[in-house]
A and B are shown apart, each in its own frame.
Chain A
Amino acid sequence: MSTTHVQLDPQGRLLHFLTVEGLTRRHLTEILDTAESLHSVAERRVKKLPTLHGKTVVNLFFEASTRTRTTFELAAKRLSADVLNLNIATSSAVKGESLLDTLRNIEAMQCDMFVVRHVQSGAAEFIARHVKPHIAVLNAGDGRHAHPTQAMLDVFTIRRHKPDFPNLQVAIVGDILHSRVARSLIHALSILGTGAIRVIAPRTLLPAHVENLGVQVFHDLAYGLRDVDVVVMLRLQRERMESALLPSEQEFFQRYGLTGERLALARPDALVMHPGPINRGVEIDSRVADGPQSVILEQVTNGIAVRMAIMSITLGNHARPLEETA
C-alpha cells in the first residue's frame, strides 16, 4: 500500500496528511479554500474557533524544531484543542519496537491527533499505519522525504498573490538534494498545474534524475531566474559544508545567493520566499530578505491558517461516517 493510500479513506478523503504526492487538485484546493476562511480569524478579538473543542493534539517531535512546532501548537489552540508537546530524544534509526511502545503509551492518554517530526523518512507513515483508527497523523517533516504542510503554506502564499498557477514560473533555489521542503513543494506545484517549475542548484546539491519530477534544471542562477514570478530560496544547512558537497559559504553566496541585482532578472513583481530560518548572507542578502518583494514573514502567518485547515479537515473526516454506497 502506498503512502497516498494510507492517508485516504475508501472514498478518497484525507484521514492523515503524510505527503502531497499522489493527492489530487481537489484535495489541495479544499485545503487552500478552508485555510482562506481561517486566515481572518487572527484579526478578530477572539482568535479562536470552537471546532476542535475537547480534542487533544500531541506534537510528537523526535527532531527539534521550534518554529514548526510552535505554529502547529498555535493552530491547534486556535481551534480550541488541547495540546501536548513531546520532544523525544531519539537514536538515528527508527527502532520499530521502541517507537511503537512510545505510541501505545501516548495513545493510552486518549489523544486524537499526532503531529510527527522525525529525522527518518517514512516515520509519520509508519505511525499512521500503526495508530488506532480514530487518530489522525500529520507529517511535520520526515527525513529528506516530505514536509507537506510547509508545501501547502507555500502554495497558499503564492495563491494569495498570484492565483493563476498555469501562467506561473516558479524557481526553487539551493540545496534541493537534502530538502524535504523542495520535494513536497514540487509535487504541490505540479498538482496545481503550475506553468513551469525550475530548480536552480549546483550539481552536487541536486538529486539524481530530478528531471523526472517534471522540473527544468538550471545550474546558473542568473540564467534560471530570468522572468520567474516566484523565487523560493532554500535554507543551506551548514552541516553540509563539512561533507565536501560545497566549497565555502562565501563562494556559495557568490554563485547562488539571492541579491538585489539577481532578483532584478526575475519579473518586477516576483515574490521572494524562504521556509526559514534564513541564513543572511549565505543564501539570501539581507536587503532582499527584508525587501518589498519578500513574503517570508507572511509565510509564517499563513502557516497557522493552513495547519488549522489540515487539522480540521483530517479530524473532520475521521468523525464523519462513510457515506453509504449504492
Chain B
Amino acid sequence: MRDAEFLIEAMAGQLRDLLARRGISEPVLVGIHSGGVWIAERLHQRLEIHAPLGRLDISFYRDDFSRLGINPQVRPSELPCDIDGRHLVLVDDVLHTGRTVRAALNELFDYGRPASVLLAVLVDRSGRELPIEANVIGTRMKLSAGQHVQLTGPEPLQLTLQPAP
C-alpha cells in the first residue's frame, strides 16, 4: 500500500509548469469517476483553479456494454460550465488500456468543442491497447497483464498493488 498524496503533489507541480508553458490561465479540470474525481478535487485545490470541477461517469460510453452491461453504480456526469473553446484537463487514477480515456473523450465532445484536452493520471501502467498517452504522470509502473493497481479513497487516498494470481 502506498500513500497517493505525495504523487498528487508531484502531479500538481508538473501540471502547473505545463499550463504555464502552454499559456493556459483558466483551465477546466474534469475528473473521471471515482478515482479521477478524488485526484481532480485535490489538484483543483492545490492549483487554485477558478472554474468549477467537472465529473464524468463514462458508463454509458464504454466499449464493453455487449459484454458487461451497465454498471449498477453509475452516477450522473456533471460539467458545470460551457466547455466550448476551453482548455480541459482530464484526470484519471490509472491509465491502463486507454479505453476509459477514449470513452471520456467521446463523452466530452457531446458537451461541446474544447480548445484542447490534456490528460493527467496518477499511475501510468503498462498495457496500452489504444494510442493514448498522458501529459502529466504521478508515477509509472511496469506491470504484467494479471497485476492490478487500484486507488482507494477518498480519505486517505491509497494505492494498492495486487499481484498476479
Residues of A within 8 A of B (CB): 30, 33-34, 36-40, 44-46, 48-52, 79, 312-313, 315-317, 319-321
Given contacts A44-B111, A51-B60, A312-B60, contact A33 B65 (CB under 8 A): no
Is the CB–CB distance between B59 and A40 below 8 Å? no
Contact of A37 among B68, B76, B106 (CB under 8 A): B76
- B100-127 contact mask (Cβ, 8 Å, vs A): 1 or 0: 0000001001111000000000000000
Interface residue? B26 (CB, 8 A): no
Contact of A313 among B69, B77, B112 (CB under 8 A): B69
Is the CB–CB distance between B110 and A51 below 8 Å? no
Is the CB–CB distance between B67 and A40 below 8 Å? no
Is the CB–CB distance between B110 and A33 below 8 Å? no
Is the CB–CB distance between A37 and B67 below 8 Å? no
Chain B nearest CB: distance from A207 CB in Å? 34
* A201→B138 CA distance, assembly (Å): 65
Contacts of B60 in A (CB 8 A): 37-38, 49-51, 79, 312
Contacts of A50 in B (CB 8 A): 60-61, 106
A-B contact pairs, 23 of them (CB 8 A): A33-B73, A33-B74, A36-B76, A37-B60, A37-B75, A38-B60, A40-B77, A45-B110, A45-B112, A46-B109, A49-B61, A50-B106, A51-B65, A52-B65, A312-B60, A316-B68, A316-B69, A316-B70, A319-B65, A319-B67, A320-B67, A320-B68, A320-B69
Contacts of A313 in B (CB 8 A): 69-70
* A196→B3 CA distance, assembly (Å): 49
Chain A nearest CB: distance from B93 CB in Å? 20
Residues of B within 8 A of A (CB-CB), count: 22
Contact of B111 among A30, A33, A45, A79 (CB under 8 A): A45
* A312→B69 CA distance, assembly (Å): 8
Interface residue? B9 (CB, 8 A): no
Chain B nearest CB: distance from A77 CB in Å? 14
B113 and chain A: residue at smallest CB distance: A45
* Binding site secondary structure of chain B: loop
* Binding site secondary structure of chain A: helix
Interface residue? B17 (CB, 8 A): no
The number of inter-chain residue pairs (CB within 8 angstroms) is: 61
Chain A nearest CB: distance from B110 CB in Å? 4
Contacts of B70 in A (CB 8 A): 34, 51, 312-313, 316
Chain A nearest CB: distance from B42 CB in Å? 24
Contacts of A34 in B (CB 8 A): 70, 72, 74
Contacts of A48 in B (CB 8 A): 110
| Interface residue ranges of B65-92 to A (CB < 8 Å) | 65-70, 72-78
Is the CB–CB distance between A46 and B110 below 8 Å? yes
Is the CB–CB distance between B110 and A316 below 8 Å? no
Contacts of B69 in A (CB 8 A): 313, 315-317, 319-320
| Most B Cβ at <10 Å: residue of A52, A316, A321 | A316
* A319→B63 CA distance, assembly (Å): 12
| Known contacts A46-B111, A51-B65, A315-B69, then 16 further A-B pairs from the complex at CB < 8 Å, ordered by chain A residue | A33-B72, A37-B59, A37-B74, A38-B60, A40-B77, A40-B78, A51-B60, A51-B70, A52-B65, A313-B70, A316-B69, A319-B65, A319-B66, A319-B68, A319-B69, A320-B69
| Most A Cβ at <10 Å: residue of B61, B68, B69, B106 | B69
Chain B nearest CB: distance from A290 CB in Å? 29
Contacts of B75 in A (CB 8 A): 37
Chain A nearest CB: distance from B100 CB in Å? 15
Chain B nearest CB: distance from A267 CB in Å? 28
Contacts of A49 in B (CB 8 A): 60-61, 110
Contacts of A40 in B (CB 8 A): 76-78
Chain A nearest CB: distance from B58 CB in Å? 10
* A103→B61 CA distance, assembly (Å): 31
